[in-house]
A and B are shown apart, each in its own frame.
Chain A
Amino acid sequence: MSDSPNITTSELLSPDRIESAIFSLAQAVRESCGDNDFALVGIFTRGVTLAKRVAKILADEGLICPVGTLDISLYRDDFDNEGTDLPRLESSDIPFPIDGTRVILFDEVIFTGRTIRAALDGLMDYGRPSKIELAVLIDRGHREIPIQPDYVGVVVPSELNEYVKVRFVENDGTEGVFLVTK
């Protein structure tokens, strides 16, 4: 990545480190859920990738669970859409009944918590889950809403003037977690 003046980028997690973090996340989910039914719902865009990777790891161990996707653009309370005023909406797809289901929401980073708040509203407009839990790859702190993840890959302390960027091969062509300072 080329740096313009005043912007510095450093790699926080290498692809190997990411892989092991996601693996631990999957194990933690499995241990917690035991034999009970549960479903994974990934928040667009990279939360979906995360949920799918976790689902694959679980499937490889013989645990099949449904995966849904959730676009929360319509539920946001801010326009912090990485610079675009005109978000392209994605089709949410929840191919299983929400009523009475234990749902684990996935997002790649939790920061202020507002995204998750929007996701909770969005999810509950599909029905009434029996329980909702949250799994994130990175927790970078600075919560503005009282929401905490149940499963965390890595805690990354950060400053407010920094960006934590997660890159997945499926979405970005490269793999890594980066810290960008302005």
Chain B
Amino acid sequence: MSELKPRKDLLDIESLGLDEIEYVLGNAVPFKQLFQRSVKKVPTLRGKTVLNLFYEPSTRTSSSFEVAANRMSADVTNFSVSSSSIVKGESLLDTIETLQAMQSDYIVIRHQAAGVPNIVAKHTGASVINAGDGYHAHPTQALLDSMTFREVHPDYAGKRIAIVGDVLHSRVARSTSTLFHKQGIEVGVLGPGALIPEGRPDFMQRFQSWEDVFDWKPHAIYLLRVQMERQEGPFFPSIAEYHKMYGMNSERLVSMRKLGAYLMHPGPVNRGVEVTDEAMGYEKSLISTQVENGIAVRMAVLHWLKPETQMD
């Protein structure tokens, strides 16, 4: 453990070593156990400040970080940047200067432009946690996905997970698939041709149909949200068509049951698009566990990262 160098920022999965991943996921387990106690808090980050800087709306992720920080006894400030201040052209560097003046220890940032957390991390001494930047990365999502899968499959190496949906616009697909691959889990993808990028890494093997996916005997299906708000062109004919071709419906649920495969989704779920109501009640759905693990993982990340002020 003393070989692990302290790290200031968590910007993506790509740059993490397996030892670092094991460390964080290992620590997430005791953090999760705290949830059983009546006092769910620990005093570890008392006196430290966490700034939630969300340029894109998200109650789900920002509240998960808020709960995690609160449970570490940190002081949390939520800074919701309306799109109007971006339109006004307040530059990123000006915002960063303001952030510096606030002297937060941790900055959790979500932004619609890829690369912004990297810029912020370069210009502040705070520990920067990427909560999602454009199509690029969502590292804490990947970590909680891995934690969730490992709970049901402790011998995870060599297992198979198929990701279904809009990979092109999905930072979750990128980070989660990268992490699974690093851990020796095989990754397959299924989706409309226009949404499965040619530039994807070689390890992401493409399936043409649900039949092909199930023939491959996956241990879990990971559904992606259809990014209605990110479509800047016609990628598939209609929602109805998408649901027919790629949705988790009763018929596909039968195959899931036969395989004993688990169902995962980063949330929020579009009922009637990626899933049916019936699928949401599937007994091997890990969706709510993912949410619970999200808090534990984010606590472990806050515990792990060291702002410049704490490094010697």
Task: Verify that A and B bind, or say they do not.
Answer: yes
A positions within 8 Å CB-CB of B: 71, 74-75, 83-93, 121-122, 125-127
Q: Is the interface of A mostly helix, strand, loop or mixed?
A: loop
Q: Which residues of A contact B42 (CB under 8 A)?
A: 74-75, 122, 125
Q: Given A86-B23, A92-B33, A127-B38 in contact, is the A75-B6 Cβ separation under 8 Å?
A: no
The range of chain B's interface size is 20 to 34
Which of A86, A89, A92, A122 has most chain B Cβ within 10 Å? A86
CB distance from A43 to the nearest CB of B (A): 14
Which of A85, A121, A126 has most chain B Cβ within 10 Å? A85
Q: Which residues of A contact B31 (CB under 8 A)?
A: 89
0/1 per residue, B60-71, Cβ < 8 Å to A? Answer: 000000000000
Task: Judge whether B41 is part of the interface by a CB distance below 8 angstroms.
Answer: yes
B39 touches A85 (CB 8 A): no
**16 A–B contacts, CB within 8 A, in A order:** A74-B42, A74-B43, A74-B44, A75-B43, A86-B2, A86-B304, A88-B26, A89-B26, A89-B30, A89-B303, A91-B29, A93-B33, A121-B43, A125-B37, A125-B42, A126-B37
Task: Judge whether B4 is part of the interface by a CB distance below 8 angstroms.
Answer: yes
0/1 per residue, B21-33, Cβ < 8 Å to A? Answer: 0010011011101
Q: Which residues of A contact B303 (CB under 8 A)?
A: 74, 89
Partner of B6, one of A85, A88, A92: A85
B1 touches A87 (CB 8 A): yes
CB distance from B310 to the nearest CB of A (A): 9
B39 touches A92 (CB 8 A): no
B positions within 8 Å CB-CB of A: 1-2, 4, 6, 23, 26-27, 29-31, 33, 37-39, 41-44, 300, 303-304, 306
Which of A74, A122, A125 has most chain B Cβ within 10 Å? A74
Q: Given A88-B1, A92-B33 in contact, is the A125-B6 Cβ separation under 8 Å?
A: no
Q: Which residues of A contact B300 (CB under 8 A)?
A: 89
Q: A85-B2, A89-B30 are in contact. List 19 more A-B contacts (CB 8 A).
A: A71-B30, A75-B43, A75-B44, A85-B6, A85-B306, A86-B1, A86-B6, A86-B304, A87-B1, A88-B23, A88-B26, A89-B26, A89-B31, A92-B30, A122-B42, A125-B37, A125-B42, A126-B37, A127-B38
B1 touches A84 (CB 8 A): yes
The answer for the CA separation of A74 and B240 in the assembled complex, in Å, is 50
The answer for the CA separation of A121 and B39 in the assembled complex, in Å, is 11
